[in-house]
Structure formats: structure tokens, C-alpha cells
Amino acid sequence: MDIGAINPVFLIASLMVAATPILLAALGELVVEKAGVLNLGVEGIMIMGAVTGFAAAVTTGNAWLGMLAAIGAGALLALVFAVLTQVLMANQVASGLALTLFGLGLSALVGQGFVGATPPRTEKLTFGPLTDLPVVGPILFNQDPLVYVSLALVAGIWWWLKSTRGGRILRAVGENHDSAHALGYKVRRVRILAILFGGACAGLGGAYLSLIRVPQWTEGMTTGAGWIALALVVFAAWRPGRALLGAYLFGGIMVLQLNLQAAGFRIPVEYLAMSPYIITILVLVLMSSNRGRTSLSAPGSLGRSFHAAG
């Protein structure tokens, strides 16, 4: 094997691509959890986004229409979850699982005619002379537009949660829904909107996988990305900036293990392919072992359903 064949600049540029789908899904879920809702259906929403985006892009020949369709599909599936948990007061854990099982099945059904198709290409953005800069150029100034969208989303969500009235209401609803209700905020409406936003983000993340990262449609292609996004929210301690850090660390691990596979590292492929999941578990352990800190940063009403009494 030849570790020297792995080019660090290329590695960083491609880890950003590997991290973007998880980052998008994690940012959406972060907002959902900040509103006090635990949506375990991220995996199901992502894969529906992946197949809808792919199908729409192949049919229309336009990748951006595909992305829009994926956003719509993600929000639609999230709406099912919102109705179940917010209107019909169903258990959030079970509803999220149902969403994942349903999404995996439905995506396989929808995607049947699209196995082996090639999606329209999405061009990378170039910034003239900036792109030609050594090292910085390929990393910062030659990515596809969605990488920049995801970065803007990190900043946007951070600012919105911290500094706007809407963000404060959302956090109040997530910290203590009874107090928020007593103050006159519409707990249910805030949560439904947050769930829809989370679904849209996860759908877009899924489409990024099928249209840009892979780009192809295969059954079950998200392979746990949605679950990793959920873990990432815990790792991030519900802070957008740390979600970015976590996603890029994780993307680095994914790209590195793929590079090691390609370089013929003397470990069977299957063990290398396990590493992202094992590392995610280790990170979860590290984050949660500090009991005081996790319970302080987790939204107070996370996972509890709200029913206005009387």
C-alpha cells in the first residue's frame, strides 16, 4: 500500500462533499430538537429525498428541480410525522421508527425504474483566479453550490436561533413547553413548522447523496447517514457550529477509510467500512459520559409530547 498516494488537499476537498449530506440532515434535526421534538425518522426522510430528487432530476433533466422535489418530499414525509406526534399525540420514538421503515420501503418502490440511470451533472462553482490558488483554491473555491448552501445554513440557523424573536420562541417551546404555552406561544404550531423544516433539510441531504456525492440510485443507499446525523446533533450539543465541526470530522473519517480501501491497506474492506459507525458510537459515549453537561445542553422538553390541558 501507499499512504503517500493520498493527497491531503484532495482529501479535505472531498471530505466536505462527504460531510454535506449529514450536515444538512443534522442541521434540520437540530432545529427540530431545539423545538423539543425527537424525530427518529431522519433516515427514512433522507432516503425518500434521495429517490425523489433523483427521479425528478432524471425525468426533467435538471438537477435543481430534483433538489426542489427532494425538499418537498422531505417536508411531506415530515408532515406525516408532525400529524402523528403533534395532532394525534403518538409516541415520538415509535412514530420516527415507523417513518424510517416506511421510507425505506417506499423509496425502493419509487426507485425501481431508476436503478442504473445517470442524473444530470451539477457543475462545481468556480471563482476565477481564486479557484486557481494552490491548496485554498480546490478546498474553498471549487465546490458545488450546495456545499456553500450548507455552510450558509450553519451561519443562518446559528444567527436565527440566537438573535431573532422566532428563534427565541422556538427555544422556549423546546426548553419548557408548559411555560411557553402559558406565555401564549403556539407550541403545536411552532413544533409542526420545525418538523417541516427538518424534513426539508433531510430531504435535501438525501438528494445530495443521490445526485452529487454518489451520484446514482441504489436501494438503501443512505446506509445509516440519517442515524449518524442524529448522533451528530448530540455530539454538537445542539449548537450549529459544532454540528459543522462534527460533520467535517466525520466526513474526514469516511473519506480516509475509503482512501485506505482504495490504497489497499492490509485490513479487509468490511472492517474499514465499520469504522464510521464505531467512531460515531465512541463519540456519543464521550459526549454523554459527562452527565451534567449533556443534560444542561439538551432541550428540556425533548421527546415529551405536549397536550394543552383544559
Stretch of 76-84, 115-123, 204-212, 254-262 lying at the interface with another protein (CB under 8 A): 76-84
51 touching another protein, by CB under 8 A = no
Q: What is the DSSP string of 77-113?
A: HHHHHHIIIIIS---HHHHHHHHHHHHHHHHHHHHGG
| Residue 195 half-sphere exposure toward CB, CA atoms < 13 A | 29
State yes or no: residue 223 binds another protein (CB under 8 A): yes
- Segment near another protein (CB under 8 A); pick from 127-135, 137-145, 252-260, 280-288: 280-288
Given a contact cutoff of 8 angstroms between Cβ atoms, the answer to whether 195 and 305 are in contact is no
The HSE-up count of residue 270 (CA atoms within 13 Å, CB side) is 0
Among residues 105, 166, 241, 264, the one that binds another protein under rule CB under 8 A: 105
C-alpha distances in angstroms, 220 versus 111, 126, 135, 226, 248? 10, 33, 35, 11, 23
- Round to whole Å and give the CA distance between 167 and 121: 36
Residue 132 has phi, psi (to 5 degrees) of -85, -5
Stretch that binds another protein, among 53-61, 154-162, 252-260, 263-271 (CB under 8 A): 263-271
Nearest to 18 by CA among 244, 248, 293, 219: 248
Q: How far is 164 from 238, CA to CA, in rounded Å?
A: 17
Is 60 or 275 the residue whose CB approaches another protein more closely?
Answer: 275
141 binds another protein per the rule CB under 8 A: no
297 near another protein, judged by CB under 8 A: no
Closest to another protein by CB, 128 vs 310, is 310
Residue 146 CB, shortest distance to another protein, in Å, is 25
Residue from 88, 125, 136, 152 that binds another protein (CB under 8 A)? 88
Site residue total, another protein (CB under 8 A): 50
> CA 282, CA 151: separation in Å to the nearest integer?
26
Query: Closest separation between CB of residue 263 and another protein, Å?
Result: 19
d(CA 7, CA 138): 12
**Binder among 118, 123, 165, 291 for another protein (CB under 8 A):** 291
Choose which of 63, 231, 243, 244 interacts with another protein (CB under 8 A): 231
**Given candidates 35, 84, 146, 192, which one binds another protein under the rule CB under 8 A?**
84
List interacting residues with another protein (CB under 8 A). Answer: 40, 80, 83-84, 88-91, 93-95, 97-98, 101-109, 112, 219, 223-224, 227-228, 230-231, 234, 268, 270-271, 273-274, 277-278, 280-281, 284-285, 288-289, 291, 294, 307-310
